[in-house]
Structure 1
Amino acid sequence: MSTEGPTSSLTEPPPRRPKVIKTNQQQVFLYVVLTLLLSLATVWGGRAMLHNSETLTFAVGAPNSDEALFAAKLATVLTSNASRFRIKIVNNADNAKALAQFDRKQADLAVLRTDAKVPLRARTLAILEHDLVLLLGPGNKKIKSIAELKKKKVAVFAESESSLAFVRSVLDIPDGPDAAKIQMAPQGATLDKLFAPANGFGAVIAIVHASRAVRDKAYEQVARRGGFTLNAIDEAKALARKLPGISSETLTAGTLSTSPKIPDDDLDTIGLEWLLVAQSRMSPTTAGELARIVYENKAALGLDNGFATRIEPASVEKDAFVIAHQGAADYINDDTKSFMDKYSDLMYLGAAALSIIGSIFAAIYAKITRIAPEKASELSTAILDIGERIEHAHSLDQLECLQDELEGILRGAVIGLRDGTISTDGLDTFKLGYEFVRDEIGMRRDYLKRHANETGKPAPGAGPAPHDDSNVVVVKTAQSA
């Protein structure tokens, strides 16, 4: 019997399981990218919801009033700045009715002059304008004091009837016969006409926007004809302390006219302020953002007639006539939120989204898509398969093939343990199987060598031994047994 057995009984070594480490790393990278993208999308969506367009109702007087024109300008500025705010302008018969609407919480914004009845919940966002009280006497006649006006017929030169009540309160003239001496100037009247002897006015109190007074050339023209004298109000500071809403103002030399110079020196008078107010319930974030837009767009918000051309920050003093809104005060005092405070909501949202989405993808990877490393115990099957084929190896060459296959499995296991494609689960079983089959191959090799020597050596004095299959000793391995 030839020692060369059929090679067909030796199967090809089982193919190595493809490496999984790269595939798993690619999955992890993909899930990390998806987690970040979805978290960013969640934050962006949350930010869009938080910064959704907000419509603010602005109560104003007549459509051609200064406050109505300012509201229209503000609406345009908000649109051009791509702000989330939109302005809905609601016109009323006059500014008093607009403030009443504001007081009923039917409007978010309004403009008031400080001599008006201030709504309880009004909070200042900005000072839009100053009104100056100009005490004018005819010709060269000086008016020494406010008390002197009580004996004169006085014309109130102003745009609204509310100024008449303001002047009477300043002069401390109650309703009655004396109050009739304080009259509104006729519509379309000029200083020349008011000081005409026929009208009999001993003084004119003009209440004008400070920005408009500087531009108005009518004062200079009348002054050149010697038509009036600008008088100081020496009681300005006392009146400011006595009457809420009145401010003490100083007219610098040449404010009304440069030639002749009027006033010829700095002059004390009183004034009023026009305030942009918001409801106290408006969020500090909204109020602060509105205040910022107003302050940063002063040039665009000023009217052609001069109103609101010198916008100032709201007074943040605790004793201010109308206290500043907290959001505006924070912006003015540079107490705006830090980056962490400002974006803390979005950061918390992002952290929550990152945690939830990351947990979902981690569960998907661990339970579904992850390619688990091959267990070392699973390689024992291939080793035992080699052990079963040892008895069919009838030559040293065939046995060496099995030895190479066994060593290949061992080498692959060592490499797999190193790079993570094979886990240590069942490693003891693998070692036991490897050692058993290795020893079995050694025993089979010794047998084949010994059998080859015995069959190849003739007995002394005898011819070649006849071929007898019965003399073939079949040694079964312990595994096959």
Structure 2
Amino acid sequence: MTDGPANQSPKPLRSAKRRLIFVLIAGVLAIIGTLTAGYYFAVRPVTLKIAVGPANSDDLRVVQALAQAFNNNNQQHSQVKLRPVPTEGATASAQTLGEGKADLAIIRGDLDVPKNAQAVATLRKNVVVMWAPPSKGKARKGAKITKITQLAGHKIAVVGRTPANVNLLKLILQQYGVDPNKVEIVQFPANEAADAIRNQKADAYLAAGPANSKITIDAITASSRDGGEPTFLAIDAAEAISQNHPAYEAAEIPAGSLGAANRPEDEVKTISFAHHIVARKGLAESTVAAFTRQLFAIRQQLKTDFPLAAKIETPDTDKDATIPVHPGAAAFVDGEEKTFLDRYSDYIWWGLMALSAMGSAGAWFAGYLKQDERNTNTSQRERLLEMLKTARQSDATDELDQLQAEADDILRHTLDCYEHGAIEEGTLTAFNIALEQFHNAVADRKALLLSMPQNLQRAATQFRAAGTA
């Protein structure tokens, strides 16, 4: 009997098919997990911080109402939630956005706009109202003021503490050739304007706000306490102002829109400017599109309690707009908002490609793993043929029994290889033929040895041993 590794019983190899299946399942689960995680992060609600002020302003109240509606648990499919960040006013809100401390902000269009701000919506349009109180009753010194050019040397009261309104007044005066240094300018807090106007007399007033602003109407009423009707000062140069300062637009104050007594009796030319909802330039397009969609879906629900909410308008999407529109808001306005598949089709396609590549790699890896089994099976088949030759020349039944046991191990390993896919059915058929020949050779040799006397068996064994020496 020969010695060597070929005579040792082959150890069962780990199933290549099971390893391949494990690798493929792991890969598929990884891809599915990645896609699921991507979908979750894509559709999960995003909380945006919105800077707005000042305290107790209509802007803040509207934003708080929007935040409550956005954050309402009953609002299904709500992709965006809001968290108001109170500021001291539009200037501070713009600064907060510019510093990256907020995602959205309410700003005035006629103030410095942060470089990273892009328009999402127009919150409201504001008109400038200038008027002179009636001269009836306690007569005022000087001629009646009917034009802006007559304001030099007079006292002008501005409603609101923001410096922006004072700058706006100076801009209007300069347009009409009135030196701002030759007028006295005082300011009243917006929420205290009516009382302040009753206690202090001015020759003219300026207020800026929505066309039907209660603050403006109350201020006009308070300045008319002596009887008579105020004289509204038309800004006839509105077109020229808008040409030189794109943040302003020419507008008209409709007749009868400023309270009782049909104020004003006729349309009055003026200028307007907008309060905008702006977003950080780097804010995701899909997030801004979702915010814009929710904003215009909810505004009608709020108009009963907050009439200003109904004034929200879509932004200017022209390329030459004063404030460039955010791509997400433009997509909503233009009806080009991308769906989930539109946004992530590339990732899904690459995922499928990765899955296909993983399948190809898995097939190659499986073939690589089976190569060792195929090589081992080939050497064992050759070993079986050698055992066939040895069995036909064997002179001892013990040796034949050992060969038979080795053949059984080879058979077991070959069946394992076939089960794992390492060998094909044709190879297994060839092996079965060789194995059958081996079994026949062992059976024939044992029958021959049993029929021979013991002394002839020993003599044959010694003769063969001497021949091989």
Query: What TM-score do you get using the length of structure 2 for normalisation?
Result: 0.62
Following the alignment from structure 2 to structure 1, what is the Cα–Cα distance between the partners of residues 216 and 146?
27
Tell me, what secondary structure is at the counterpart of 2:272? strand
SS in 2 for 1:188: helix
Which deviations, in whole Å up to 9, do the C-alpha atoms of 1:98-151 show, x marking residues without a partner?
333333333332211123222232221111011111222334998654323335
Residue deviations 1:409-447, cap 9 Å, x none? xxxxxxxxxxx9x965159859999xx9xxxxxxxxxxx
| Structure 1 segment 259-338 matched on structure 2, within 5 A | 260-300=261-301, 304=305, 306-337=307-338
67, 71, 75: which is aligned to 1:79? 71
Query: What's the CA shift for 1:272?
Result: 1.5
Gaps of 5+ in 1: 1-27, 370-419, 437-481
Residue number in structure 1 paired with 2:119: 124
2:35 to 40, 43, 54: 43
In 1, Cα distance between equivalents of 2:80 and 2:97: 22
Alignment correspondent of 2:242: 240
Give percent identity, aligned residues only: 26
Residue pair 1:46, 1:346 contacting (<8 A) in 2 also: no
Provide the residue aligned with 1:400 in structure 2. Answer: none
- 1:176-218: per-residue Cα shift (whole Å, max 9, x none)? 34x32x3224763439955x9x8252x3222222353599688
Q: Match of 2:132?
A: 137
Residue pair 1:220, 1:256 contacting (<8 A) in 2 also:
no
Matches within 5 A, 1:393-472: 425-426=426-427
Is the aligned partner of 1:188 residue 2:192?
yes
1:100 and 1:155 map into 2 onto residues whose CA distance is: 28
Structure 1 137/116 Cα, relative in aligned 2: closer, same or farther at 3 Å? same
Deviation at 1:271, TM superposition (A): 1.2
- C-alpha separation in 1, matches of 2:431 and 2:112: 94
Cα distance 1:103–1:429, how it changes in 2: closer, same or farther (>3 A)? closer
Paired amino acid for 1:239:
I
Q: In the alignment, is residue 115 of structure 1 matched against residue 135 of structure 2?
A: no
Does 1:89 pair with 2:85? yes
User: Could you tell me how far apart the structure 2 residues matched to 1:176 and 1:218 are?
Assistant: 25
- Please tell me whether Structure 1 or Structure 2 has the larger radius of gyration of its CA atoms: 1
Q: Is the 8 A contact 2:212 2:257 kept in 1?
A: no
Asked if the contact 1:157/1:204 (under 8 Å) is kept, the reply is yes
Counterpart for residue 257 of structure 2: 255
Query: 2-side partners of 1:165 and 1:253: how far apart?
Result: 27
Q: Counterparts of 1:334 and 1:239 in 2: how far apart (Å)?
A: 34
Question: What secondary structure does 1:96 align onto?
Answer: helix
SS in 1 for 2:325: coil
Query: Counterpart amino acid of 2:56?
Result: N
Amino acid at match of 1:322: I
- Once the two structures are TM-superposed, the CA of residue 276 in structure 1 deviates from its matched residue by 1.2
Structure-2 separation of matches of 1:159 and 1:105: 26
Q: Partner of 2:181 in structure 1?
A: 176
> Structure 2 matches for 1:141-220, cutoff 5 A?
145-150=147-152, 152-158=154-160, 160-172=162-174, 176-177=181-182, 179-180=183-184, 182-185=185-188, 188-190=192-194, 199-201=201-203, 203-210=204-211, 212=213
CA deviation profile, 1:55-97 (whole Å, cap 9, x unmatched): 54433334323443344334334323442555362534x4323
Query: Aligned equivalents of 1:273 and 1:347: distance in 2?
Result: 42
Q: What is the letter of the counterpart of residue 42 of structure 1?
A: T
Q: Which moved more, 1:36-45 or 1:123-132?
A: 36-45
Q: SS at the partner of 1:48?
A: helix
TM-score, normalization: structure 1? 0.60
Code of the residue aligned with 1:321 in structure 2: it is: T
Paired residues of 1:233 and 1:268 also in contact (CA < 8 A): yes
Given the superposition, is the C-alpha separation of residues 221 and 161 from structure 1 closer, same or farther in structure 2, using an over 3 Å criterion?
closer
CA shift for structure 1 position 278: 2.0
- Would the alpha carbon gap of residues 163 and 423 (structure 1) be closer, same or farther in structure 2, given more than 3 Å must change? same
State the number of aligned residues.
420
Give yes or no for contact 2:157–2:187 (8 Å, CA) kept in 1.
Answer: yes
SS of the equivalent of 1:119 reads coil
Q: Is the 8 A contact 2:212 2:258 kept in 1?
A: no
Q: Is residue 63 of structure 1 aligned with residue 66 of structure 2?
A: no
Paired position in structure 2 for 1:105: 100
> Residue deviations 1:275-318, cap 9 Å, x none?
11222233333333332332222235669564443111111223
Deviation at 1:351, TM superposition (A): 1.7
Which 5+ residue runs of structure 2 have no aligned equivalent?
1-19, 137-143, 371-420, 438-469
Give the partner amino acid of 2:105. Answer: A
- Inter-CA distance 88–353: structure 2 relative to 1 (3 Å threshold): farther
Q: Which amino acid aligns with 1:209?
A: P
**Structure 2: distance between partners of 1:431 and 1:55:** 71
SS across alignment from 2:35: helix
1:48 maps to amino acid: Y
Question: Secondary structure of the residue that 2:277 maps to in structure 1?
Answer: strand
State how far apart, in whole Å, the 1-side matches of 2:118 and 2:271 are: 23
For the structure 1 residues 343 and 314, does the alpha-carbon distance in structure 2 shift closer, same or farther, using more than 3 Å as the test? same
